[in-house]
Amino acid sequence: MQSLRRVIRKLILESQGIDLYDVEYLSSFENGKRYIGAYAKDIFRRKADRNFLNSLGYIHSIPFASLDSRLAKLKQKDELSCLITFDKWEGQELYEVAHDTGNFMNENSIGLIIDGWVTWAANHNANTGHTGSLKDKYGEKPHSGMSKAPGKTYHMRYSSKERPGGGRVPQHELDRVLMDQDDVEDDGLWHWRQDDSGKWSSASNNEAILDNWTVVGVCHVVEWTDHEDKLTEEYDAKVMAAYEKVKRRFPKAELVKVRLD
């Protein structure tokens, strides 16, 4: 009967995405031993179109003011949260990055172009948690690195040593998953909402989780539609200083000219 209900639900939703029932079903086999979002990642790993994921671009944004401390704490064994843009950087002389990314990679922040293995992607902030707070909550991270998962902030509120799986991942956390080109065409690369006045606005940043990652580029925005006034000599100087710091940590990283459009 449970299997029948699952099939009926999928037919009604006409969705090939990830259903909460499937996530909880996997979790039941291990009595909720892992964070429940980790089971959603298991389904993502099996169902996502890897060619599609590899065609996208991934950028990790860091404020200039905290670059030193963040670089010192970045561990390549830890999964990393990134912004998603439409195109992958493959050595283009001028790298086109979606305009909305400028909200998080701006005159106050540097964007690091990341290459790695995508373990989750969604068109909104997936509440995966910050590595530092995850370590504070769960203790010393494993040798293999700190893993993230959709809705892990919910787990941080409700999990315990007796039930590490914690609270359930809401279905809306799973509905916005990006597993193939159809998901982007149907739901967009960002989740948009309409306020009471009827105005559409982006609810939050999108988010991808990357494992086995490295920094391949540092973004230097040289063109920014409608915001050219923010590209000052002061900004250029901050980028160059940031690039030198990043390159000491990641010697193969290149300085990449970016157009936000």
* pLDDT for position 182: 94
Which residue has 């995405």 as its token pair?
A: 17
Q: Determine the structural domain holding residue 52 and report its residue range.
A: 2-260
CA distance 203 to 238: 29
- pLDDT exceeds 60 at position 210: yes
Write down the pTM of the prediction.
0.85
* pLDDT for position 9: 41
CA distance 192 to 199: 10
First to last CA, the chain: 50
For the segment 54-113, what is each residue's pLDDT rounded down to a tens digit?
Answer: 999 999 999 999 999 999 999 999 999 999 999 999 999 999 999 888 888 889 999 999
Q: 87 CB contacts (<8 Å, ≥6 apart)?
A: 55, 56, 57, 95, 96, 97
- Candidates 193, 209, 194, 230; CA nearest to 103 is 230
Where residue 144 falls among pLDDT bands split at 50, 70, 90?
low
In the chain, the number of structural domains is: 1
Return the amino acid letter for 190: W
For the segment 111-133, what is each residue's pLDDT rounded down to a tens digit?
Answer: 999 999 999 999 998 888 765 55
Q: Retrieve residue 37's tokens.
A: 């979002």
**Percentage of the residues of the chain whose pLDDT score is greater than 70:** 78
Which range in 23-27, 77-81, 173-177 is most confidently predicted, on average pLDDT? 77-81
More confident position, 10 or 204: 204
* pLDDT for position 12: 42
For the segment 222-244, what is each residue's pLDDT rounded down to a tens digit?
Answer: 999 989 999 999 999 999 999 99
CA distance 207 to 82: 6
